[in-house]
Amino acid sequence: MGDAGAGSCACETGGAGTKPVGMFEVILTRRKRFGWRWQVCDQSGKIFADGFERTRPAAKYHGERALFFLLSQAYLRNPFAASSKD
């Protein structure tokens, strides 16, 4: 019982040769007696962040927060993303 509609985003590197880096998604899974599990994964299934919450809204919030943090860190590490040379 997965729920992949919580949030997703495609990322690209800047520069002359723009190439797709990957797609990330937040997956919510119902767990018996434990609440909800959230995971931030890429297209290949590699897990970048995960956790457990008692309620679905809390799991959705923490999963999307982790996705935002992951994307913001990737943006800050990319030297071409801050400068626009068109």
Q: What is the pLDDT of residues 26-63, one digit of tens each?
A: 999 999 888 999 999 988 889 999 999 999 999 999 99
Specify the pLDDT at position 33: 82
Strand partners, 2: 29
If pLDDT is split at 50, 70 and 90, which confidence band does 85 have? low
Q: Averaged over 4-26, what is the pLDDT?
A: 54
Task: Compute the mean pLDDT over every residue in the chain, rounded to the nearest whole number.
Answer: 76
Cβ atoms 21, 13 nearer than 8 A: yes
Domain ranges of the chain: 2-12+22-78
Cβ atoms 7, 63 nearer than 8 A: yes
